[in-house]
Structure 1
Amino acid sequence: MRWWFKARKGHTLLPLGLAVFAVALYAMQDTTVLLPAILGRPRVALSLFVPVPLLAFLMAVLESRLPAAEASGVRSMTRLDNGLVTAIVAAAVLCSVLIASVQGTAAATTGGRNAVFLTGLMLIGRAWAGQAAVMLPVGWLVTVVLVGFHANNTPRPWTVIALPADDVFAAAASLVVFAIGLAAQVRSSRKTA
């Protein structure tokens, strides 16, 4: 297992990804910016974009593999990959909760919830698009900014990531998408090409 983790470059990339995530989430706090959109003129929280570097690091780790050797091996790499993804997402959620408690506001917890949702989305796309699926969460973010807000700057329910920190639907949707992503990971981990 230690060799698997080193082959995935997890010992260097994942701590760096989590550090970038935590620092960016702490720095963004409640900062909002006015972005151009097709529908309305939304004031978007910059914290929506915080999970993107973590997802890029996670995809780099998942794609640092030898597919033929792993497909012919005895030990299941799928379970190890799913365990790794779950541990990193749990660490991101923990970071966001800690930052929220330091800042005294619940807004930072959306960073963890969004990391769960966007990771699931990326894993679902990875089953069909491979490494290019790292752009799927970015596409979701752009879609949310362009058409995800009503004229009065309230997010539409389908956006999930733009909803408030205490939104139950957003939390449930994030967990469902993450679970589907882990299931899709089984398919993508077995691919050799």
Structure 2
Amino acid sequence: MRWWIKARRAHTVLPGLFVPFALLALLWQDTELDLPSFLSGTLPAPISALTPLLLCSALALCLDSRLPAAEETATRPVVWMDVALVLATVLGALLTGFLARALGSVYTGPGLGRDTAFLVGLMLLVRSVAGSRAVLAPVAWGFVVLFLGRGPGGHVHFWTVLFRPLADPVAATAAFLALASGLAALLARPGTPTEK
């Protein structure tokens, strides 16, 4: 267990990015920025919706920090430890969102956990095919949502997941399916395609 934590750098990388993630989510809460959109000009968007990118990059770095030879011969279920790491990170994001909600945030709340689950699942799916380059997938999704995610009247499209209302069942289902699919991809292919 100790070598896995050191190999994954879970004791340094995750806390190092989770603390800023939590602070930004709690400080920014419902702060909005006027961001450009190709379809509807400039529209306000909650900046806290982009904070899950910090956790996605931390998880990607942790999962890519591997000792392939030692892990192939390990008696402990290393891949299940990785799954637990992912779930603990998403749960931490959800709890941070609930804390922000208790402090008065309208947007952040459970939406922070939902968005984190979606982006982490997306990153894990792309990781099973593209390896360490998968860290760019959540960032690319964020840009697609920012520039193309709103219609002419400012309506947020259903496929974006980010910026959707908290009670949106489509966004919640998409986040659940993305995370479940990403975890299945991690179980099926724990290493990266570049490993030999």
Bin for the TM-score computed over the shorter chain: over 0.9
User: How big is each residue's C-alpha offset from its partner over 1:120-149, in whole Å with a ceiling of 9 and x where there is no partner?
Assistant: 000001101111101100100100111110
> Contact between 1:126 and 1:188, CA under 8 Å: does it hold in 2?
no
Q: What is the CA-CA distance between 1:106 and the residue it aligns to?
A: 3.6
CA-CA distance at 1:161 after TM superposition: 1.1
How many residue pairs get aligned? The number is: 192
Query: For 1:41-94, what per-residue CA distance to the aligned partner results, in whole angstroms no more than 9, with x for missing partners?
Result: 232221121111111111111111112321233333211100111111111111
Is the Cα–Cα contact under 8 Å of residues 21 and 50 in structure 1 kept in the other structure? Answer: yes
Aligned counterparts of 1:171 and 1:159: Cα–Cα separation in 2: 11
- 1:37 is displaced (CA, Å) by 2.1
Other structure's SS at 1:163 match: coil
Identify the residue that residue 174 of structure 1 maps to in structure 2: 175
- Superposition pairs of residues 155-170 of structure 1, within 5 angstroms: 155-170=156-171
Q: Percent identity?
A: 38
Q: Which stretch shifts more, 51-60 or 37-46?
A: 37-46
Structure 2 gaps of 5+ residues are none
CA distance in 1, matches of 2:47, 2:191: 36
More helix by share: 1
Structure 1: gaps spanning 5 or more residues: none
2:105 is the counterpart of 1:100: no
Runs of 4+ displaced beyond 3 Å: 190-193
Secondary structure of 1:154's aligned partner: coil
Aligned-pair CA distance for 1:16: 2.0
Displacement of 1:188 after TM fit? 3.2
1:81 paired with 2:88, answer no
Describe the superposition over 1:12-39 as per-residue Cα deviations: whole angstroms up to 9, x where unpaired.
Answer: 1112222111111112221222222221
Contact 1:13-1:61 at 8 Å conserved across structures: yes
2:143 corresponds to: 142
**TM-score, normalised on structure 1?**
0.93
TM-score by length of structure 2 reads 0.92
Please state how far the C-alpha of 1:190 moved relative to its aligned partner.
Answer: 4.0
